[in-house]
Amino acid sequence: MFRVPSRPPGALYAIGMGCVLALILVAGLAFAGDKARFTADGALIRPSNYREWIFLSSGLGMTYGPNAPASGAPLRFDNVFVNPSSYQAFRRTGRWPDGTVLVLEVRESQSRGSINERGHYQTSIAAIEANVKDSRRFPNGGWAFFDLTPRGEDSPKAVSAVPPGNNCEKCHSTNGAVDNTFVQFYPELIPFAQKFGTYKPGATAPEAQH
């Protein structure tokens, strides 16, 4: 046991206050430190630990556009992660708060065994993209896309947004089930969007766009 110097009631009060201060600090770090961070000139600072965020879902062969594999090459997987505080906010409200970062990680696939075996598993990273919500920075729709694909030693620590009017934005704003995001592919989130009335009626898987 430890000895409290003097005047136990005052000391206990101070210990209690210390506990409260520490808990506020920890809670603040845990629930706000995962939102989008930008440099002074508006570039997105690369989230280094997105693999420890919340996994939303994965698909195989859903990749199109510039990240699609070469003709005849194996299909690619898409893994989607979101920062934990925004995931919790979505479960509470059916909406993405400002600062939300959805990371799309595109991975190569391999098949195992003989030519008849249909199984595919994930291997190396082919591309990383982020879809970031910030109503003030991105007034036209509230979202912007960033290409975070690693480029070895030259990988920049911060990345500027893909200019507005790009194909990602067009497809997401037209087809996303909830506010520019493809919640129709995230089975754990669909019930929350439906509960809070934010799921666009009739939203389904869009036609492939090659």
- Binders of a copy of itself among residues 81 to 110 (CB under 8 A) are 81, 84, 87, 107, 110
Is residue 62 near a copy of itself by the rule CB under 8 A?
A: yes
Smallest distance from a copy of itself to CB 14, Å: 4
* Residues 107/88, Cβ–Cβ less than 8 Å: no
- Alpha-helical (H) ranges within the chain are 8-32, 84-93, 167-175, 190-195
Which SS3 state, helix, strand or coil, does residue 71 take?
coil
Between 91 and 137, name the residue whose CB sits nearer to a copy of itself.
Answer: 91
Q: How far apart are CA 116 and CA 27, in angstroms?
A: 51
Q: Which residues of 69-91 are buried (b: 16+ CB within 10 A; e: fewer)?
A: eeeeeeebbbbbbbbebbbebbe
* Residue of 37, 38, 46, 57 interacting with a copy of itself (CB under 8 A): 57
Choose the stretch contacting a copy of itself; rule: CB under 8 A; options: 36-44, 117-125, 140-148, 153-161.
117-125
Smallest distance from a copy of itself to CB 17, Å: 6
Choose the stretch contacting a copy of itself; rule: CB under 8 A; options: 35-43, 55-63, 163-171, 192-200.
55-63
Smallest distance from a copy of itself to CB 128, Å: 13
Ramachandran region, residue 101 (left: φ > 0; alpha: ψ -120 to 50; beta: rest): beta
Q: How far apart are CA 125 and CA 139, in angstroms?
A: 32
Give the bridge partners for 145, in sequence order.
131
Q: How far apart are CA 87 and CA 100, in angstroms?
A: 8
**What track of x and - describes contact with a copy of itself for positions 127 through 156 (by CB under 8 A)?**
------------------------------
Between 20 and 32, name the residue whose CB sits nearer to a copy of itself.
Answer: 20
Q: What is the contact surface with a copy of itself in residues (CB under 8 A)?
A: 2, 4-7, 10-23, 26, 51-52, 54-55, 57-62, 75, 77, 79, 81, 84, 87, 107, 110, 112-113, 117-124, 185, 187-188, 205-208
